[in-house]
Amino acid sequence: MKTERKGEALSAELGGIELAAVKREAESLAKDEQLMERVCERENLKRALARVRRNKGAPGADRMTVAELPGHLKVHWPVIRERLLAGQYQPQPVRRVEIDKPGGEGKRKLGIPCVLDRFIQQALLQVLEPIYEPTFSEFSYGFRPQRSAHQAVALAQTYMAEGNRWVVDLDLEKFFDRVNHDILMGRVAKKVSDRRVLALIRRYLQAGVLEHGLVEATEEGTPQGGPLSPLLSNILLTDLDRELEQRGHRFVRYADDSNIYVRSERAGQRVKTSITRFLHSRLKLKVNEAKSAVAQPWQRKFLGFSFTADDARRVIAPQALSRFKQRVRALTSRTEGKAIGEIIQRLAPYVKGWSGYFGFCEVTRTLRDLDRWIRRRLRSIMWKQWKRGRRRYAELRHRGVRHDLAARTAGSAHGPWSLAKSPALSYALPTAAFVSLGLPSLNARSST
């Protein structure tokens, strides 16, 4: 037992030495006046190019595609590199696109940099990330290596299990559009001394936005859509993390989504007021009062999840369920006349990706119900495609349904959605039939 404890102590000591070494290395990198040379190193650029190609993405203002980038670099990189090293490179404006916010709550503005700028930003990110990672809070999870939304949700559960049954749910109003450039650059300059890198980051912040053929200057904000934006947001919001740590709060932050867990509503209101004041005075950020609240965790959503009131188990938030059904309906339209195999092929990647994230919920009954709902929808599509009673009867008999049940079902006046739950269609089109066509299950134990 003593030997084991000595081993644990030695391991902890070595872990501390390794952590200190990482921090020293990060500090030496930060003080390096040759950071731009590191950005332009061949191996760093190869990694950046591979990442940009893997991420794909839409063209920017110049309409160059990701596939065209390697050829462009082959011809123009020597000149681009010379401009970067001389501190003279000028990014292009980002292309403005708008996407629907979840739940139909208006539009979210994204700024898509051209692929060349995405490549340079990625190269910058790979050099800057090791500098800042050791300085970030252990309670920050968004857009960080080896960290995930699932870990953030699990930490929130830990706080609830400790008796913190109220949450201060803070929503920053248009965060990525409102970031103060001077404050952000001041935080960046604390760790980076290479003036070329600092100037390039500021140029990216101020590159402007191309919308409707006109370039609009950007005096605040960091456009969503570029590789650097998540890192810059974490650099700025580390001030919030440190303030919350200093006050001894139980909190978890994922990008601009911050939850603080307290023991009473009164404490929550007090914390919300003081942190709102801190964000405005220190970082010039505004809390969206309409979307922020002090409530019990099961009355709110966090990263797509909510919690049960009795034992704080993870459940899928109603908004996430509604978006899922809306998307499945769009992918399985009954008016397109496509073969069921083709519909499932189109549906399967979305279902698989969604279940990879929301399969983290602990109330699996919801997943089983969704599986049944999807299969019922597919059965109703097939029933509608069979069209007439004679064809429907023949299809049911071909699939082993007995004569009387097939005849009664084929002659029924009920609609496709109602009959999709009937014994005849459940027998004729079982789960195995859809699995054989490539439909993944949201829940492995779902069977009917």
Q: What is the 3-state secondary structure (H, E, C) of the chain?
A: CHHHHHHHHHHHHHHHHHHHHHHHHHHHHHHCCCHHHHHCCHHHHHHHHHHHHHHCCCCCCCCCCHHHHHHHHHHHHHHHHHHHHCCCCCCCCEEEEEEECHHHCCEEEEEECCHHHHHHHHHHHHHHHHHHHHHCCCCECCCCCCCCHHHHHHHHHHHHHCCCCEEEEEEECCHHHHCCHHHHHHHHHCCCCCHHHHHHHHHHHCCCEEECCEEECCCCCCCCCCCHHHHHHHHHHHHHHHHHHHCCCEEEEECCEEEEEECCHHHHHHHHHHHHHHHHHHHCCCECCCCCEEECHHHCCECCEEECCCCCCEEECHHHHHHHHHHHHHHCCCCCCCCHHHHHHHHHHHHHHHHHHHCCCCCCHHHHHHHHHHHHHHHHHHHHHHCCHHHHHHHHHHCCCCHHHHHHHHCCCCCHHHHCCCHHHHHHCCHHHHHHCCCCCCCCCCCC
| Higher pLDDT pick, 17 / 65 | 65
Please tell me the number of Cα atoms within 13 Å of 196 on its side-chain side. 19
pLDDT computed for residue 18 by the predictor: 42
Closest by Cα among 191, 145, 187 to 27: 191
pLDDT computed for residue 210 by the predictor: 67
Residue 1 pLDDT exceeds 70: no
pLDDT computed for residue 178 by the predictor: 85
pLDDT computed for residue 13 by the predictor: 36
Residue 368 pLDDT exceeds 50: yes
| Higher pLDDT pick, 18 / 298 | 298
pLDDT computed for residue 222 by the predictor: 74
Question: Residue 124 — very low, low, confident or very high, per pLDDT cuts 50/70/90?
Answer: very high
Residue 260 pLDDT exceeds 70: yes
| Higher pLDDT pick, 150 / 25 | 150
For residues 432-448, give the mean pLDDT: 81
d(C-alpha 18, C-alpha 12), whole Å: 10
pLDDT computed for residue 174 by the predictor: 84
d(C-alpha 339, C-alpha 341), whole Å: 5
pLDDT computed for residue 105 by the predictor: 62
d(C-alpha 114, C-alpha 400), whole Å: 57
Which stretch of 14-18, 241-245, 437-441 has the lowest confidence by average pLDDT? 14-18
Which stretch of 95-109, 136-150, 329-343, 406-420 has the lowest confidence by average pLDDT? 95-109
pLDDT computed for residue 443 by the predictor: 82
Q: Each residue of 376-392: pLDDT tens digit?
A: 999 999 999 999 999 99
Length of the chain: 448
Q: Which amino acid does the sequence have at 21?
A: A
For residues 328-344, give the mean pLDDT: 90
Is residue 62 within 8 A of residue 114, CB to CB? The reply is yes
Residue 448 pLDDT exceeds 70: no
> Percentage of residues in the chain with pLDDT exceeding 90?
77
Is residue 362 within 8 A of residue 307, CB to CB? The reply is no
For residues 29-52, give the mean pLDDT: 89
Residue 11 pLDDT exceeds 70: no
